[in-house]
């Protein structure tokens, strides 16, 4: 494995470890959706994004909008690892008085760029950020993560029409295509049909990749940035609950409660994976 790919894989597994620890402390949560978007977060915060943890309000930074805001725990783990706030805060996830609520809140959590959780709204705020960056001419990007179930929202398709019309070449959207949403399989709730064809019809540049392959995700983002065109959408083929076996095997795994022993076993398994990666470095 090339050094950069190995570094990103190690970062992703570190994020997974700390995210699982968060859930272990709480005993329930949106484990499935946090696990499926995790590698993309690792790629973005592992070197793609122009950010400064010591200056989280830096005006010319890149922005990340986690529209599927229930995946916040994976983002929180990433921010803590990078030093935006103390690691100890991860133990307070979704508890009374916490700065780490169940869904992302920019007013509470240092490093979170946009409050999200009301599904569909993230594309509108991301477009606003990207449009502002374009007007400022600062060369910054906005990255947006939405869920495939979230594509049921009409607001998504309003944004999908707006972004190409305004030539937002600095907007890159990721769709977490894990095939599940709150009430079941996306194909049975409201079949999304051919997502690539739909976004192409709206004027987006489309790439489909394995969302758990950090190298593939990194290559797709790099190609999008280097193209000078846009907006881009990267369709991530993922497994809901990836890396947390007992959750991935559940039919309904949007929000789950579990025995502490089951999650502790997943933490130990992930630590073993990390130790193995460290031996390759």
Query: Which residues are paired to 175 by β-bridges?
Result: 146, 235
Report the pLDDT value the prediction gives residue 198, as an integer from 0 to 100.
98
Residues 182-203: what's their mean pLDDT? Answer: 96
User: Tens digit of pLDDT for each residue in 70-106?
Assistant: 999 999 999 999 999 999 999 999 999 999 999 999 9
pLDDT at 94 (0 to 100): 97
Is residue 61 predicted with pLDDT exceeding 60? yes
Residue 281 confidence (pLDDT): 62
What pLDDT does residue 1 have?
A: 45
Write down the pLDDT at residue 279: 80
Nearest to 46 by CA among 217, 204, 184, 194: 217
177 by DSSP, 3-state: which? strand
Q: Which of 126, 158, 121, 125 is nearest to 141 (CA)?
A: 126
For the stretch 134-158, pLDDT in tens is 999 999 999 999 999 999 999 999 9
pLDDT at 42 over 60: yes
Domain 3-280 belongs to what architecture?
3-Layer(aba) Sandwich (3.40)
pTM score over 0.95: yes
Check whether 2 has a pLDDT greater than 70: no
Tell me the per-residue pLDDT of 203-251, one tens digit each, with 9 for 90 and over.
999 999 999 999 999 999 999 999 999 999 999 999 999 999 999 999 9
**Rounded distance between C-alpha atoms, residue 253 and residue 243, angstroms:** 13
pLDDT at 216: 98
Read off the tokens for 15: 């994020």
Task: Give the count of alpha carbons within 13 A of 108, CB side only.
Answer: 18
* Helix residue spans in the chain (DSSP H): 3-26, 31-36, 38-43, 72-82, 121-136, 154-165, 186-189, 195-202, 214-227, 245-248, 260-280
The 10s digit of each residue's pLDDT in 19-31 is 999 999 999 999 9
Q: How far is CA 112 from CA 64, 116, 138, 192, in A?
A: 8, 10, 20, 29
On average, the pLDDT of the chain sits at 97
Q: What are the residue boundaries of the structural domains of the chain, listed by start? A: 3-280
């Amino acid at each position: 494995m090339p050094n950069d790919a190995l570094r990103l894989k190690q970062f992703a597994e570190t994020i997974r470890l700390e995210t699982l620890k968060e859930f272990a402390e709480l005993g329930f949560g949106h484990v499935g959706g946090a696990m499926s978007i995790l590698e993309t977060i690792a790629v973005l915060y592992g070197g793609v994004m122009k950010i400064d943890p010591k200056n989280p309000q830096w005006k010319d930074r890149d922005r990340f909008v986690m529209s599927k805001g229930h995946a916040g725990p994976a983002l929180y783990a990433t921010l803590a690892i990078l030093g935006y706030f103390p690691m100890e805060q991860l133990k307070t996830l979704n508890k009374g008085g916490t700065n780490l609520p169940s869904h992302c809140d920019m007013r509470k959590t240092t490093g979170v760029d946009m409050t999200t959780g009301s599904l569909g709204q993230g594309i509108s705020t991301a477009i606003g950020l990207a449009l502002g960056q374009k007007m400022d001419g600062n060369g910054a990007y906005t990255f947006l993560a939405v869920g495939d179930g979230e594509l049921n929202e009409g607001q998504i398709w309003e944004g999908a029409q707006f972004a190409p019309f305004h030539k937002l070449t600095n907007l890159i959207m990721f769709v977490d295509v894990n095939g599940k949403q709150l009430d079941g399989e996306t194909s049975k709730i409201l079949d999304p049909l051919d997502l690539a064809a739909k976004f192409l019809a709206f004027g987006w540049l489309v790439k489909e990749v394995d969302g758990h392959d950090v190298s593939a995700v990194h290559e797709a983002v790099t190609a999008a940035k280097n193209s000078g065109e846009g907006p881009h959408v990267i369709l991530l083929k993922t497994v809901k609950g990836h890396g947390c076996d007992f959750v991935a095997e559940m039919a309904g795994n949007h929000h789950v409660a579990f025995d502490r022993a089951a999650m502790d076993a997943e933490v130990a398994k992930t630590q073993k994976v990390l130790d193995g990666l460290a031996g390759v470095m």
